[in-house]
Amino acid sequence: MFRSFRIRNYRLFILGQFISLTGGWMQIVAQDWLVLQLSDNSGTALGIVTALQFLPILVFTLYAGKLADRLDKRKLLIAVNAVWAVLAASLGILVISGGVQLWHVFVFAAVFGAVNAVEVPVRQSFASELVGTDLLPNALSLSAATFNTARIVGPALAGLCIAWLGTGPVFVLNALTYAGPMVGLLMMKSTDLYRARLAKKPGNVRDGLAYVRRRPDLMLPMALMGVIAMLGYNFQLTLAIMSKTVFHNGAASFGLLTSVLALGALCGALAGTGRDGRPSVYVILGGALAFGVLETILGFAPTYLTMIALLFPTGFAMVYFAQACNQRVQMGVPAEYRGRVMSLYMLVFAGTTPIGAPVIGWLAENVSARSSIWVGGIASIVTALVALVVRIRVRGVQVTFRARPWPTLRFAEPDVDELSMSVLPGRALMGRFAR
């Protein structure tokens, strides 16, 4: 499960990421709580600030992918972490001074998002330089596990810090955490990185888009992720609204909801660490369906404790699906295209949030807080089913069902190996696809 930790550069990277991501999740919780305080619990305002945080991805991330294929990724990551530290400290000082207004938070969210648009595709494509191709599935899963471990620790710490100190000091603490990845990146040995030779005239963004367009095996996970992330991955917004307006709890309780979701997500990430090859399309479709069903049920959770219980499996399915998509995309492209392809993947993964977040925020404010959750679940189910039906019809897939020894669906395509999928909870997927 942890075999990538044998590589020193990867250990330094993960440790630095855990420190900064913990601070980043503390800031996200503090930012959302501050918006609710300044806007009189407005779901629309929370949707706007979430959209502004992700809107720059639509503008900058494809260009960032080109930079990732042309420049030293390690130096780029050091630079963006330094900028983040300055921004977080500035926002913290503004809040502590008592002069913060809602529009200030909007501006900082947009600037943070602009830096994030550059950092994410660079960081995603940097993983292959740390461990090489053979360990890439394991490294990606462990990176997702680190992200979700921080997602457990960060919101819990944020809830306590907000209750004891207020939101301002949380932003200052986050600024200090960015020293972690900068020190780790500076300590890495460049000679141990698995770097591909950079072309004298590397391709541009258009070349990357044309490459993906010619690859339907990349288009399907990106299309699925685009729709599901847009409407179903808005827990940063929906959990804050549910905690404050439905269950009438404070910041600590909101932090607990986020942490439970992240605990399930952590287990979902660890479930993918044993994967050696490229996940099949049916693993992705199964994960999307499971997430949609669980999120729909979550939207109707009658009590706070029921919601806590449902958040764990929902988080598991959310990251299991997302990680399978990530691995299928990364393991299907050569190194010279990886930066641009991952920038497009992150565009559909996070760049759709500016579209979905205001819609979800409007639903929470004008329909019901619960609708902001179950609408995303139903959208995920419909999207996954449509993709499955299209796949079966286009590829001529033969689907059979076997009841014994346990209920199992079998998908057999003319040009690939057969895949069996148990319909019982807890049973593993069996078989594999060549494509």
Give the span between the Cα atoms of 310 and 306, in whole angstroms.
Answer: 6
For the ranges 196-205, 215-224, 363-372, which has the lowest average pLDDT?
196-205
For the ranges 81-85, 97-101, 390-394, which has the lowest average pLDDT?
390-394
Q: How big is the CA angle at 245 (ends 244 and 249), to the nearest 5 degrees? A: 35
By the 8 A CB rule, do 47 and 362 touch? yes
Query: So what's the pLDDT on residue 106?
Result: 92
Residue type for position 47:
G
CATH number for the domain running over 3-191+204-395:
1.20.1250.20
Query: So what's the pLDDT on residue 120?
Result: 82
Nearest by Cα to 241 from 74, 66, 365: 365
Residue with tokens 């020193």: 8
Query: So what's the pLDDT on residue 88?
Result: 93
Query: So what's the pLDDT on residue 415?
Result: 61
Work out the number of other CB atoms within 10 angstroms of the CB of residue 164. Answer: 9
Higher per-residue confidence, 422 vs 64: 64
- CB-hemisphere CA count at 13 Å for 219? 10
Alpha carbon 7 to chain centroid distance? 24
Query: So what's the pLDDT on residue 196?
Result: 58
Is pLDDT of 269 > 50? yes
pLDDT tier at 432, thresholds 50, 70, 90:
very low
Query: So what's the pLDDT on residue 435?
Result: 36
Is pLDDT of 220 > 80? yes
Higher per-residue confidence, 395 vs 362: 362
Is pLDDT of 425 > 50? no
pLDDT tier at 252, thresholds 50, 70, 90:
low
Query: So what's the pLDDT on residue 381?
Result: 95
Query: So what's the pLDDT on residue 195?
Result: 67
Query: So what's the pLDDT on residue 431?
Result: 37
Per-residue model confidence as pLDDT tens digits over 276-292: 778 888 889 999 999 99
Its pTM surpasses 0.75: no
By the 8 A CB rule, do 375 and 363 touch? yes
Q: Regarding beta strands 398-402 and 408-412, do their DSSP bridges make them parallel or antiparallel, or are they unpaired? A: antiparallel
Per-residue model confidence as pLDDT tens digits over 1-31: 778 888 898 999 999 999 999 999 899 889 9
How many helices, marked H, and strands, marked E, lie in the chain?
16, 3
Average pLDDT estimate for 77-106: 92
| Domain map (residue ranges) of the chain | 3-191+204-395, 396-435
By the 8 A CB rule, do 299 and 373 touch? yes
Is pLDDT of 365 > 90? no
Average pLDDT estimate for 397-408: 75
Beta bridge partners of residue 399, listed in sequence order: 411
How high is the mean pLDDT of the chain? 82
pLDDT tier at 251, thresholds 50, 70, 90:
low
Query: So what's the pLDDT on residue 52?
Result: 85
Query: So what's the pLDDT on residue 397?
Result: 75
Give the span between the Cα atoms of 167 and 161, in whole angstroms.
Answer: 8
Per-residue model confidence as pLDDT tens digits over 118-136: 888 888 878 778 887 778 7
By the 8 A CB rule, do 195 and 9 touch? no
Decide: helix, strand or coil at residue 131.
helix
Higher per-residue confidence, 379 vs 32: 379
Structure tokens belonging to residue 279 = 């996940």
By the 8 A CB rule, do 327 and 218 touch? no
Residue with tokens 């709890």: 249
Give the span between the Cα atoms of 213 and 274, in whole angstroms.
Answer: 30
Give the percent of the chain with pLDDT over 90: 24
Average pLDDT estimate for 143-160: 82
